[in-house]
Amino acid sequence: MRPEGRRAGGAIGPHGPGQPGGPRVRLVPGALEVAEVAARCRSWDEVVAESRRCTACPELAATRTTVVVGDPPAGLLVAGAPPGPGIRRPLLALVGEAPGAEEDRSGRPFVGPAGRLLDELLAEAGLARAEVAVLNVLQCRPTVSARPGGALANRAPAPDEVARCRGWLLRKLDLVQPDLVCTLGLTAATWFLGRRVTLAAERGRVHQVDGRRVVVTYHPSAAIRFGPAGAPMAALRSDLRLVAGVLAESTPDSPSGTVQQ
């Protein structure tokens, strides 16, 4: 088994080659509407409210329990809130693939087994999860029913789903303005690098994509699957240390980190 991806989804979006969101031009009905609604959202709260109404992917909307918008970093101002201390910078955004069963139930990203491992590895690297934005390529859980009447299982995001959800992720990145992005798994790596990649070839270094710094690494579920002595665990641990090092060397580019309103 290759450690590249639990759900071998390709990330393809309505954009040109080499653009974040996928390697091929793909105009998907619904993607433009999502992008327009997302672009009008002026705060994280508005993204949450609008996302909850999103039915761009009818199958996902029909089977989801919640829309998992993601965790904003501590200090992101909410609409109408008095000015606070703001986000601590430099700021990291982690981007995974899609919610699983526990995330779908709770409405929060990375709270299942993969999330628990991620929390451990973040702490080990000296990174505080509360100060990190935690996002996914898809906001709704993609499922497949293994047998009639049986429990739903996770599946890879379909390229059209990735394309439709792209506007939400772009808007959240705009609001949060991360100084560094760390992608977890192949779907998110492909979304950012905009081409077909292998994690083995791309991990372990900092990529520059459209003025954004991006480190790609394995998904924690691959690390779980291959076990504590497997290559994905060692790579994930080492890449999160790299991320912590890059952040430590970065100069805060916004003293207050206030990015909204």
Q: Which of 5, 96, 157, 178 binds ligand URA (CB under 6 A)?
A: 96
With vertex at residue 5, the alpha carbon angle to CA 228 and CA 167, rounded to the nearest 5 degrees, is 125
Give the closest residue to 171 by CA, choosing from 252, 50, 24: 50
Q: Which of 21, 99, 167, 257 binds ligand URA (CB under 6 A)?
A: 99
CB-closest chain residue to ligand URA: 96
- CA 153, CA 24: separation in Å to the nearest integer? 28
Q: How far is the CB of 116 from ligand URA (least distance, A)?
A: 11
The backbone torsions φ and ψ at residue 86, rounded to the nearest 5 degrees and listed phi first, read 80, 180
When asked if residue 100 is in the footprint of ligand URA (CB under 6 A), the reply is: yes
Its sign, for the CA torsion 145, 147, 150, 154, is negative
When asked if residue 71 is in the footprint of ligand URA (CB under 6 A), the reply is: no
Give the closest residue to 185 by CA, choosing from 108, 102, 133, 118: 118
The residue (of 114 and 175) whose beta carbon lies closer to ligand URA is 114
The residue (of 100 and 257) whose beta carbon lies closer to ligand URA is 100
The residue (of 86 and 220) whose beta carbon lies closer to ligand URA is 220
Contacts of 249 (CB under 8 A, 6+ apart): none
Binding residues for ligand URA restricted to 105-144, rule: CB under 6 A: 109-110, 112, 114-115, 136
When asked if residue 30 is in the footprint of ligand URA (CB under 6 A), the reply is: no
The residue (of 13 and 96) whose beta carbon lies closer to ligand URA is 96
- CA 97, CA 109: separation in Å to the nearest integer? 10
The residue (of 86 and 239) whose beta carbon lies closer to ligand URA is 239
Q: How far is the CB of 174 from ligand URA (least distance, A)?
A: 20
The residue (of 22 and 142) whose beta carbon lies closer to ligand URA is 142
With vertex at residue 223, the alpha carbon angle to CA 191 and CA 189, rounded to the nearest 5 degrees, is 10
Q: Which stretch binds ligand URA (CB under 6 A): 44-52, 94-102, 190-198, 241-249?
A: 94-102
Give the closest residue to 105 by CA, choosing from 154, 65, 59, 63: 65
The backbone torsions φ and ψ at residue 214, rounded to the nearest 5 degrees and listed phi first, read -135, 130
When asked if residue 103 is in the footprint of ligand URA (CB under 6 A), the reply is: yes
Give the closest residue to 11 by CA, choosing from 133, 98, 109, 107: 98
Q: How far is the CB of 122 from ligand URA (least distance, A)?
A: 14
When asked if residue 176 is in the footprint of ligand URA (CB under 6 A), the reply is: no
- Residue with the two structure tokens 């909307």: 61
Size of the site for ligand URA (CB under 6 A): 12
Interacting residues toward ligand URA by CB under 6 A: 96-100, 103, 109-110, 112, 114-115, 136
